[in-house]
């Protein structure tokens, strides 16, 4: 892997600590030690799950583009998109249900949809760059 990809991978692996901390928070919520309504519990679970899965997916896309020796900036464009989605989408789940007893998600639910769009673009960039690299090899 090149230096930029190695740096990104190292930073991402360190961010898994925050996902672990989120898991401890989620255990408190589910265990009744932190008050939350049913909507909040569902959204907290969804945010935590999306964070974990998307970080792994981001690392996989980073490894794939490096292993295939994708040229130039394309080596990072797709994986960075996936990793941005790993921040934005879970943030939408968590932030849209803040408050004492929300009955429905707030405006920050838009972050979930924004993250989904960024995820799609990141995956498309990764897929296309892999196909082009493979076809020209």
- DSSP secondary structure string for all residues of 24-38: HHHHHHHTTSS---H
- The DSSP code for 32 is T
Q: Which of 88, 100, 124 is nearest to 39 (CA)?
A: 100
What pLDDT score was predicted for residue 72? 87
What pLDDT score was predicted for residue 2? 86
Rounded-to-integer distance, Cα 17 and Cα 55, Å: 12
Tens-place pLDDT, residues 48-66: 999 999 999 999 999 999 9
Q: Kindly give the parts of the chain with pLDDT less than 50.
A: none
Domain holding 124, by residue range, is: 3-136
User: How many domains, the chain?
Assistant: 1
Rounded-to-integer distance, Cα 111 and Cα 114, Å: 5
What pLDDT score was predicted for residue 132? 96
What pLDDT score was predicted for residue 14? 95
What pLDDT score was predicted for residue 83? 97
């Amino acid at each position: 892997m090149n230096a930029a990809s190695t740096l990104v991978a190292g930073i991402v692996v360190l961010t898994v600590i925050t996902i672990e901390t989120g898991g401890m928070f989620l255990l408190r919520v589910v265990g009744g030690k932190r008050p939350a309504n049913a909507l909040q519990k569902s959204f907290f679970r969804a945010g935590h799950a999306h964070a974990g899965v998307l970080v792994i997916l981001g690392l996989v896309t980073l490894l794939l583009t490096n292993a295939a020796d994708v040229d130039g900036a394309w080596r990072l464009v797709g994986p960075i998109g996936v990793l941005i989605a790993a921040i934005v989408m879970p943030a939408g789940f968590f932030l849209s249900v803040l408050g004492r007893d929300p009955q429905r998600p707030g405006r920050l639910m838009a972050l979930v949809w924004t993250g989904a769009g960024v995820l799609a673009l990141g995956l498309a960039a990764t897929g296309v760059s892999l196909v082009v690299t493979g076809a020209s090899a």
